[in-house]
């Protein structure tokens, strides 16, 4: 199978439908979909009363993330030989986060994330996949001359590669300092709502790159079961939406709490059973 045979499949996965354009009519005091009435679809500035709606992908965002997750899992998954001698970690948790965006979103907005990660490899260092999404979303009030004219809300998902290490003699059973970092893709949906609540417009960004780093403490609460408390800082640069929203830094910090389970294999597991006395 030649590489160019895959082109139609990638075109199907990542092709986007065109925009619809909504135009405000001063005579009817209402919004009209130009595409629905046969007018050409084109961009005009937001101050002319024209808003582009969201681009709807043919392949759902959930399916895209699963596809990317499977590829990353294939790359990061430890070999059979390393599994026989080392460990695999499964973690799930939640976080309270606050934004560190650029203009026009300088004010900090708090939001709530949930996520999970799977990592495997050596005794004290693992590589894997991290997934995270917001369930309470950051929201910002937009103003012109100190008069509110609407709110922007950002719904975000992230999937990427993770590398972590735990500084302890027996990481799967003792308290220790956890250091982690990685990079991946953000998929964000922007929703604008006007003050009256009669207009709601959404736009789905193309996936964009983000990186993160952090650290925290890991405490044993059972046999191979850990309570994780950590701080992470995420950095990303969100692209612009033509004639609608400017590009801006979309960084945020988060305080996380989660539970991880450590699966130890081979000689490493025998050493744990022989040396460590669990309560």
For 133-151, how does the pLDDT look when each residue is reduced to its tens digit (9 = 90+)?
999 999 999 888 888 889 9
Highest mean pLDDT among 69-73, 167-171, 205-209: 205-209
Confidence (pLDDT) at 72: 52
Distance CA 11, CA 78 (A): 31
Tokens matching residue 43: 């961009």
Alpha helices in 3-109 (DSSP H): 7-14, 61-76, 80-85
pLDDT at residue 132 tops 50: yes
Q: Indicate the pairing of strand 248-264 with strand 87-101.
A: antiparallel
Under CATH, which number does the domain 61-275 receive? 2.40.160.20
Q: Are 264 and 224 in contact (CB under 8 A)?
A: yes
List, for residues 40-66, the tens digit of each pLDDT value: 433 333 333 444 444 434 344 455 555
Contacts of 119 (CB under 8 A, 6+ apart): 76, 88, 89, 91, 126, 127, 128, 129, 162, 163, 164
List, for residues 212-259, the tens digit of each pLDDT value: 999 999 999 988 899 999 999 999 999 998 888 899 999 999 999 999
When the pLDDT of each residue in the chain is averaged and rounded to a whole number, the result is 76
pLDDT at residue 164 tops 50: yes
| Side-chain-facing half-sphere of 263: CA atoms under 13 Å | 11
Backbone angles phi and psi of 116, in degrees to 5: -155, 155
pTM for the full predicted model: 0.69
Distance CA 40, CA 28 (A): 21
């Amino acid at each position: 199978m030649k590489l160019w045979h895959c082109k139609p499949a990638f075109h199907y996965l990542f092709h986007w439908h065109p925009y619809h354009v909504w135009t405000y009519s001063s005579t009817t005091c209402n919004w009209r979909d130009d595409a629905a009435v046969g007018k050409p679809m084109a961009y005009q500035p937001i101050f002319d009363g024209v808003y582009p709606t969201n681009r709807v992908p043919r392949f759902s965002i959930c399916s895209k993330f699963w596809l990317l997750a499977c590829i990353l899992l294939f790359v990061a998954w430890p070999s059979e030989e390393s599994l026989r001698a080392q460990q695999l970690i499964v973690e799930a948790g939640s976080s309270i986060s606050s934004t560190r965006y650029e203009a026009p979103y300088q004010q900090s907005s708090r939001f709530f994330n949930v996520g999970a990660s799977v990592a495997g490899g050596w005794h004290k260092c693992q590589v894997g996949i991290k997934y995270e999404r917001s369930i309470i979303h950051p929201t910002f009030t937009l103003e012109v001359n100190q008069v509110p004219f609407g709110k922007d809300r950002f719904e975000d998902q992230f999937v990427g590669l993770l590398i972590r290490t735990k500084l302890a003699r027996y990481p799967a059973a003792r308290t220790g300092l956890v250091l982690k970092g990685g990079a991946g893709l953000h998929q964000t949906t922007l929703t604008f709502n006007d003050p009256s609540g009669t207009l709601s417009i959404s736009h789905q960004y193309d996936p964009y790159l983000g990186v993160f780093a952090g650290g925290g403490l890991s405490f044993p609460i059972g046999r191979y079961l850990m309570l994780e408390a950590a701080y992470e800082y995420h950095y990303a640069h969100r692209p612009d939406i033509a004639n609608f929203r400017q590009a801006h830094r979309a960084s945020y910090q988060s305080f996380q709490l989660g539970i991880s389970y450590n699966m130890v294999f081979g000689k490493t597991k025998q050493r744990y059973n022989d040396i460590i006395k669990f309560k």
